[in-house]
Every structure is written in structure tokens, then in C-alpha cells.
Structure 1
Amino acid sequence: MLAHVSQTPHPPAGRNKTRILIVSCAVLVAVVALLAFALTRGGAPAAGPQLPPTTPAASAPSSPSGPPTNAPASPSSPAEPSADPELGECTQPTEGFVPQRFTIPALDADEAVLALNLDEDGNIAAPPPDQPRTASWWSGGPKPGAGAGKAVLSIHTYNPSLPPALGNEMYAGGTSQLRPGDLIKLYGRDGQVQCYEYTHDVKVWVSDYDPDSDVLVDFEGDPQVAIIICWDYEENTRGWDSRVIFYGTPVAPAA
């Protein structure tokens, strides 16, 4: 089981202090339905988003499970540029921007990003359930290109009665299909291209999630991208027992 992670500084004054672990998983009932659920600190005041209990899914894949791996410490500075020709279009944003598109070349992914904050239930909004490769960026959190914090994206995992969503491809067989150094790129409307190098992933068991951790919600730490998907479907509860978070650190543009 995942040990609780270290405490995180409070977000800047005026920001919502609720700690959230959120991702939506598409499942098949009579039509594709949306599963959106979140965790929040027990007994916390009712200021900010109201986060309901887990919503059960009607059907979803049984997934391999096992003990999560310990995540290495994040580097404190951007990675040095490599010889990868894909770095040629990377820029050095001077401030945060709203992403419009993302690519993961190693997975042949070139997809849209929707800037979404909260849904009608008070959860961080996910992409529409019929968009298996679209990502949603949490617009209430840090922006890509900002000097601090995690820019959070969520991507669907689909049940096996549907063609795989991008989340299924990213963690096929219960193992990350990205390798350290693989690029993740976020594109802005005005020509910004923030490039990240994938560093590691971590599986977070829902039952062990520490709402005071900076595993996902982080306004003040080193800049990163964090992409979250559902995993470990539980037949008895019809819920997803874990989340997998893929981390990337900013890459300096090629000279």
C-alpha cells in the first residue's frame, strides 16, 4: 500500500485549500456513462468544492494490481536538453498559459486539451465521456509554463467493451508505457510550447490517499505536469481502487 506522502505548503492566500484526488473513468451501461469522483479531507469545513462519495461504475475492466513503486524525488531545476529533434519546437514561456493541445510522441498522441474547472457536482471536470483521447486541464490549478506547482491533466480509462482510451494505452498491462525522457508537450494559443520529460509514475491507492499531500494538488512546489488516470477496477464495489499519476519536469528549449 502507498505510504502517506509528506505535507505540502498551503496554497497562496485566496486559493481553495481543499486537497483533491480526481479523475473520471468512462464505462459502458446502455450508453457510455461518466464516472467522476474525488477525495477530500475528512471533517474539513464546507468552504470550496463539495466532493461527494465515490460513484460506483456499472462495468469496467479488472486490472492488474500490486504494490506501488516509490517515486523518486523531483528535480529542482529543468532537465538539460538532449539531442532529441522533437525539442526543436519547445519554447521557454515567461508566464503560465492555458493549454489548447498536447502531444506524447512516444504514444503517437496529438490531442485536444479542454480547460475545465468544476463540474455541476463540485468535482474537477473531466473530458466528455465520448472523447477517449482528449485531456482536461484543471483550470483551478497551476498553469503550464508557470514558475511553480503541478499542471494537472486528466485522461480517460475505458472499460474493455470499448476501444481503449488513451489512459488504457498509457498503462497497458499495469506498467507505464512511457520511458524516462519521453516528451510530453503542451501547446498554447499564442505559440507557447512547454515541453516536459517524463520522469516516473506513481500508483495512489484511494484508501491510502493523504489529502494533505502534494502528490497531485501543489501550488508551490517545483513546476511539473501531472497526468492522472483511473486504475485497478474492483468487481465487488464497481469502483476504481487506484489512480496512476504520470509526472514530467520542464525541459529547457534546444539552443
Structure 2
Amino acid sequence: MSATARRRSLVVGVIVALVVVAVWRLWPDPEAPQAAPPAPQTVVPGSVLKSAVCHRPATHAFVPTRISVPGVTRNATVEGLPRDANDVPSALPVSAWNAKISFAWDEPTIKPGEAKGNVLINAHTWPDGTALGNHLLDRLQVGHRIIVRGKGGAELCYKVTKRIVIRAADGSAEYYAKDGPPQIALIVCSPPRLGPGNWQNRTIWFASPVGSPQARAVQAG
């Protein structure tokens, strides 16, 4: 065999050996331990999932104690107040510590969960724009939600169906309705401000209950 032939045989042998080594390294070993599958994720009750809001609407009338308006306020307190000497629903005294952040309810008239009539609620508007009424004027629109809560876990959701502006001097019989469908009637002072405690207009939101027996009765009727 010539020297050239010997060199060619040697090169071919080296190539074959390299191919064998590569295949041996890449070929899966059937006896090799397989990676364990990832452990299932453990969900601890109460740590991840949250109960749905208004998934169990109240089936009876209740005294409102808290109101939430998404994007405006969360669990704001509700103070039940008697009417004044002129038979007008009272607002919180402006000197009260919570006057800017709380609602007032016309106690003891119509309650959330009753079969008919308006639940009368009010809140203050402040000249500097920092009170609850100011935030409602800026953000609460038709289609938005109002969540009313009471003692013992009572809860009702309402959907805003109408927003109107009236002159304070004209009043509103619609606001005081007792025999109509069950709803919230929420009122605040609104601009222009004519002087201390004197606002020319009132803004009123009407909101109907969602998912309650009362709401279903209205829809069926």
C-alpha cells in the first residue's frame, strides 16, 4: 500500500471514530433517570381567590352602614340622621370629623332591600374639591356601580340608571318617591357655589338594585 493510501485510510478511520463518539454522546440513555414533572400548584383557601362582590344579595331590608363606589370610595361610613325642622333629610354637620368622607341616610325611612321607593342618601360637596360629593361629581356616571352594606353581611349592588342636575330652589318630587321601583336616590350640592353653604344646583343619581329579589320582581313586572 502506498503512503498516500495509508494516509487516506488513517483520515477515514479518524472521521469514523469521531462520528461514533458523537452518536454515543447524543443518544439518549434509556436507563437514565427522568426529570420529575413539576409539582401541582397548591392553592390555600382564602389566600388567592376572593369572594365575588354581591354574589349573595340581601333578601330583606337592612339599615345601611357602609357604601362603596368603585373609583370613588371604599366602605365609606353611612350615618343615619333624622329630618330637620322643615322635613328635609339632614346632612352631616360640616364640623363633624367625617363630614367630608361619609354619607348620610334619611333615617328611618326606606331601607335598602325594601320592595319599593327611594333610599335617600346624601353627601357633602366642599369648596376646595376634596369632599366625597366632589369625587362623586367627577367620577360617578350612568352604568357605574354602588355597593351598599349593612350589619350581618347584608349587601346589595345598585347600577346607576340616571344622573340629573336640578336647581336647588326647584326641588325634586322624583327624589322623594315612595311608591316607585326600589332604588337609591343619591344627592349632592353642585356648582356654582353662591356663598358659604349655598350652592345653586343639586346633582342626583338614581340607581337600581342588581340581582336582588326586588330587582327580579321589577323586571318581571
Q: TM tier, shorter chain?
A: 0.5 to 0.7
Summarize deviations over 1:12-31 as a string: whole Å, max 9, x none: xxxxxxxxxxxxxxxxxxxx
More helix by share: 2
Cα separation, 2, equivalents of 1:238 and 1:127: 13
1:102 aligns with 2:67: yes
- Normalising by structure 2, report the TM-score: 0.64
1:153 aligns with 2:115: no
Q: Which of residues 125, 146, 155 is equivalent to 1:193?
A: 155
Cα separation, 1, equivalents of 2:78 and 2:196: 31
Cα separation, 2, equivalents of 1:200 and 1:208: 19
1:136 aligns with 2:95: no
Partner of 1:167: 133
Distance 1:128 1:252, change over 3 A: same
Higher normalized contact order (CA 8 Å, seq sep 6+, divided by chain length): 1
Q: Unpaired segments of 5 or more residues in structure 1?
A: 1-84
Question: What is the Cα deviation at residue 159 of structure 1?
Answer: 1.3
Q: Which of residues 190, 194, 203 is equivalent to 1:235?
A: 194
Give the superposed CA RMSD. 2.5
Q: Which of residues 168, 172, 183 is equivalent to 1:224?
A: 183
Structure with higher Rg: it is 2
Question: What is the Cα deviation at residue 100 of structure 1?
Answer: 0.8
Kindly indicate whether the alpha-carbon contact (under 8 Å) linking 1:195 and 1:250 is maintained by their aligned counterparts in 2.
yes
Kindly indicate whether the alpha-carbon contact (under 8 Å) linking 2:54 and 2:156 is maintained by their aligned counterparts in 1.
no
**Identity %, equivalent residues:** 26
The residue type paired with residue 157 of structure 2 is: C
Cα separation, 2, equivalents of 1:252 and 1:216: 23
Partner of 2:203: 244
The residue type paired with residue 143 of structure 2 is: G
Kindly indicate whether the alpha-carbon contact (under 8 Å) linking 2:141 and 2:163 is maintained by their aligned counterparts in 1.
no
